[in-house]
Amino acid sequence: MLFFSFFKTLTNQTVTIELKNDIRIRGILKSVDQYLNIKLDDIEVLDLDKYPHLSSVKNMFIRGSVVRYVMLPRSEVDVGLLEDATRREAANQAGKAR
Amino acid sequence: MSFFGFDTTLPRDRQQGGPARGFFENPDPFAEVARAQALEDDDGIDFEDTYDGLGDQLDDDQDAFNDDTFGGGDAGAATTGAVGRDFDFFGTTAKVADVIGEEQVRYALQNPSAAPLAAQQHAAAPAPTATSTTTATTAKRSGYEKYSDPGYIPDLQAKSSVWGISQKKPDPIPAASRRPMMSLEEVEAQMRQRSQPTATMPSQSIPQHMAEPSFLPPPQYPQGIPEGFPAIPPEYLRAALEKGVLPPGMPGLPPGIPELHGAPIMSGPPPMHLQQNQLPPQNLPPQGHRHPGPPQGQRQQQQQQQQMPPPPSSRGPNGGLPVITNPQQLMHLTEEQRNAYLVEDAKRAKRNHKIFLLSRGNGLMTPQDKNFITRIQLQQLVAAAGNVADADPEAVLAEDFYYQVYSQIRGAPRQHPHQPLGHFAQTYLLQTGNRLGGHGNRRAFQSADNHMQRMQQQVQRAVEAAKAKPKNKQLIIEGSLGKISFSNAKAPKPMLNIKRPDSSEGPRPKKVQSDLSLSDRKSILTNIESVYSALMAMEDMERTMPPPPEEGDAEAIQEHMEWRQKVHSLNQKLWRALKVMEPIVPNSTTPHPFIAFLSYPKGKKAIPRIFRHIDQEQRVTILTMIVVHLDSLDVVRLAQPGPGEAQPSIAVRESIDLFSLAVMPSLLGYVNEAPFNIIIGLLGLVIAQTHVQSVARTKVGLGILTMLLSRAEIVKEAGQAAERDWQQWVEKFNVLFDTLEPSLADIFPGAINTGDDMYVWQFLAAVGIGASPEQQQRLVIAVKDRVMETVGYSKTLPADMASQRLGNVNLFMRAIGLDVELLG
Residues B25-64 pLDDT 10s: 455 555 555 565 555 555 556 666 666 777 777 766 777 7
- Exposure string of B598-620, with b = 16+ CB inside 10 Å and e = fewer, is bbbebbbbbbebbbebbeeebbb
Answer yes or no: are the C-beta atoms of B681 and B688 closer than 8 Å. no
Q: Are B402 and A92 inside 8 Å of each other by CB?
A: no
Mean pLDDT of the B107-124 span: 55
Q: Which site among A4, A32, A63 would you substitute to test the B interface, given the most B Cβ atoms closer than 10 Å to its Cβ?
A: A4
What values do phi and psi take at B400, rounded to 5? -125, 40
> What pLDDT sits at residue B343?
92
Residue B272 and residue B274: Cα distance in Å, rounded? Answer: 5
Mean pLDDT of the B248-273 span: 44
User: What's the mean per-residue pLDDT of chain B?
Assistant: 67
> What pLDDT sits at residue B118?
47
Q: Are A87 and B529 inside 8 Å of each other by CB?
A: yes
- On the CB side of B685, CA atoms within 13 Å amount to 20
Examine the predicted complex and report whether its ipTM is higher than 0.95. Answer: no
The DSSP annotation for B217-285 comes to -GGG-SSSHHHHTTTHHHHHHHHHHHTTSS-TT-TTS-THHHHHHHGGG-----HHHHHHTPPPTTTHH
CA nearest neighbour of B632 among B594, B605, B669, B602:
B594
Q: Are B403 and A92 inside 8 Å of each other by CB?
A: no
Mean pLDDT of the B240-253 span: 46
Q: Count Cβ atoms within 10 A of the Cβ of residue A56 and give its class: 0-12 exposed, 13-18 middle, 19 or more buried.
A: exposed
**B189 against B392, higher pLDDT:** B189
Question: Which residue in the set B401, B403, B500 is minimally distant from A97, CB to CB?
Answer: B500
Q: pLDDT digit string (tens) for A26-55?
A: 999 999 988 899 999 999 999 899 999 999
Residue B483 and residue B474: Cα distance in Å, rounded? Answer: 6
Give B599's DSSP letter. Answer: T
> What pLDDT sits at residue B377?
82
Confidence band for A19, pLDDT divided at 50, 70 and 90 = very high
> What pLDDT sits at residue B742?
83
Residue A54 and residue B261: Cα distance in Å, rounded? Answer: 55
Residue B344 and residue B322: Cα distance in Å, rounded? Answer: 12
B74 Cβ under 8 Å from any chain A Cβ: no
Q: Which site among A8, A37, A77 would you substitute to test the B interface, given the most B Cβ atoms closer than 10 Å to its Cβ?
A: A8
Q: Count Cβ atoms within 10 A of the Cβ of residue B289 and give its class: 0-12 exposed, 13-18 middle, 19 or more buried.
A: exposed
B489 Cβ under 8 Å from any chain A Cβ: yes
Question: Which residue in the set B399, B407, B409 is minimally distant from A1, CB to CB?
Answer: B399
**In chain A, how many H helices and how many E strands?**
2, 5
Residue B79 and residue B56: Cα distance in Å, rounded? Answer: 13
Q: Are A84 and B413 inside 8 Å of each other by CB?
A: no
Q: Are B536 and A1 inside 8 Å of each other by CB?
A: no
Q: Is B138 a residue whose pLDDT tops 70?
A: no
B495 Cβ under 8 Å from any chain A Cβ: no
Q: Is B221 a residue whose pLDDT tops 60?
A: no
What residues of A are in contact with residue B400 (Cβ under 8 Å)?
A: 1, 4-5, 8
Answer yes or no: are the C-beta atoms of B703 and B760 closer than 8 Å. no
Mean pLDDT of the B410-427 span: 44
Q: End-to-end CA distance of chain A: give it in Å, rounded.
A: 18
What residues of B are in contact with residue A63 (Cβ under 8 Å)?
A: none
| B624 bridge partner residues | none
Q: pLDDT digit string (tens) for B446-505?
A: 455 566 666 667 667 766 666 665 555 566 666 666 666 666 666 666 666 666 665 554
The proportion of chain B whose per-residue pLDDT surpasses 90, expressed as a percent, equals 1
Answer yes or no: are the C-beta atoms of B560 and B546 closer than 8 Å. yes
> What pLDDT sits at residue B104?
77
Query: Under 8 Å CB-to-CB from B186, ≥6 apart: which residues?
Result: B310, B323, B325, B329
Question: Which residue in the set A11, A34, A81 is minimally distant from B402, CB to CB?
Answer: A81
> What pLDDT sits at residue B9?
62
Least confident of A79-93, B352-366, B432-446, B798-812: B432-446
CA nearest neighbour of B601 among B670, B656, B640:
B656
Answer yes or no: are the C-beta atoms of B656 and B639 closer than 8 Å. yes
**B218 against A60, higher pLDDT:** A60
What residues of B are in contact with residue A80 (Cβ under 8 Å)?
A: 605
The residues of A whose Cβ lies within 8 A of any Cβ of B are 1-2, 4-6, 8-9, 11, 34-35, 78, 80-85, 87-89, 91-92, 97-98
Q: Residues of B numbered 530-589 whose beta carbons fall under 8 angstroms of chain A's beta carbons: which are they?
A: 532-533, 536
Q: Are B402 and A80 inside 8 Å of each other by CB?
A: no
Q: End-to-end CA distance of chain B: give it in Å, rounded.
A: 122
Q: Which site among A76, A79, A88, A92 would you substitute to test the B interface, given the most B Cβ atoms closer than 10 Å to its Cβ?
A: A88
Classify the C-alpha dihedral B560-B562-B563-B565 as positive or negative: positive
Looking at CA atoms only, how far is residue A84 from chain B in angstroms? 8
For B404, which residue in chain A has the nearest alpha carbon?
Answer: A5
Amino acid in the structure at residue B663? V
- Whether the predicted model's global pTM rises above the 0.90 cut: no
What residues of A are in contact with residue B533 (Cβ under 8 Å)?
A: 87, 91
